[in-house]
Structure 1
Amino acid sequence: MINTVTETLAVVVERELPFPSEKIWRALTQPHLIEEWLMKSDFKPVADHRFNFRADWGAVDCQVLAIEPDKTLSYTWAAYGLESVVTWTLTPTSTGTHLRMEQSGFRPDQQQAYQGAKVGWPRFFAALEQVLARTD
């Protein structure tokens, strides 16, 4: 018997940030801010909106799956054969916001993409924190 369900891998990055969820939400959803910490994009915070992220190495094709302002944002992330989903979850805390990002859907044969995401997302988070620290 052949198992048609393939185990997939996920990358999870979580941070406690000393900023209100509304501020972090803006950085996750406003293209001019997204560009400062992630990539250029034509993102719109609208369900089913198709958009892409562009960088010097190429582009990522995306589509908004779910959106709940200041709480959760989910979109597909497709590039170079990778079909994944990125989900952001914002949870208010006593000191700010707990921000969780999960990119799921890496197949076992996609180690390069998986390892790249494991290295890349913490860097993006660091850049996001810098953007949050200097914006109102």
Structure 2
Amino acid sequence: MTDTGVRSVTVEREMPYPPAKLWRALTQPHLIEEWLMKNDFGLDPGHRFQLRGDWGHVDCEILDVDPGRTLSYSWNHAHDDPAYRLESVVTFTLVPTGAGTLLRMEQVGFRPDQKQAFGGAKSGWRIHLENLEKAVARLD
């Protein structure tokens, strides 16, 4: 087996909410904006959307949907400098637990020369998932 050097960021967080509630926050555009970024999200496989911030945008495409369980989309950030160009895949997995739901987020596709993007994703996803939990807490 060849080591391609591609790295991933994985964050797991148990939340005291049922999977259906988390699924809403992961898939409804106005809720995604609360915890992640402005967007034109759509849930159909193949749907292309953007996540937009003050710094620019990320181009995404829905790759896989298993309602209430798994959501996967490409996460591509174009940049003039190849060291900042990122082509990756983000996957959210929801697993029911006795106390609520274990949410697992994995972003795969960081090259060895992308230390800044990798470090930013490691800290950024932890913050985003904290914000996700706060957004879910406000849902009925």
* Same fold flag (TM > 0.5): yes
Q: Which of 56, 66, 69 does residue 67 from structure 2 map onto?
A: 69
Output the CA distance in 2 between the equivalents of 1:127 and 1:61.
22
Superposition CA RMSD, Å? 1.3
Matches for 1:19-98 after TM superposition, within 5 Å: 19-79=17-77, 80=79, 81-98=85-102
1:15-49 CA-to-partner distances (Å, cap 9, x unmatched) read 11100000000000000000000000111111010
What secondary structure, in the 3-state scheme, does the structure 2 residue paired with 1:47 have? coil
| 2:120 equivalent to 1:135 | no
Q: How many matched pairs?
A: 134
Q: Percent of aligned positions with the same letter in both sequences?
A: 60
TM-score of the aligned structures, taking structure 2 as reference length: 0.92
Q: Which of 102, 109, 116 does residue 113 from structure 2 map onto?
A: 109
Structure 2: unaligned runs, 5 residues or longer: 80-84
Deviation at 1:135, TM superposition (A): 1.2
Alignment partner, residue 8 of structure 1: 6
Output the CA distance in 1 between the equivalents of 2:100 and 2:9.
23
Deviation at 1:111, TM superposition (A): 0.8
What secondary structure, in the 3-state scheme, does the structure 1 residue paired with 2:129 have? helix
1:107-127 CA-to-partner distances (Å, cap 9, x unmatched) read 001111101101100000111
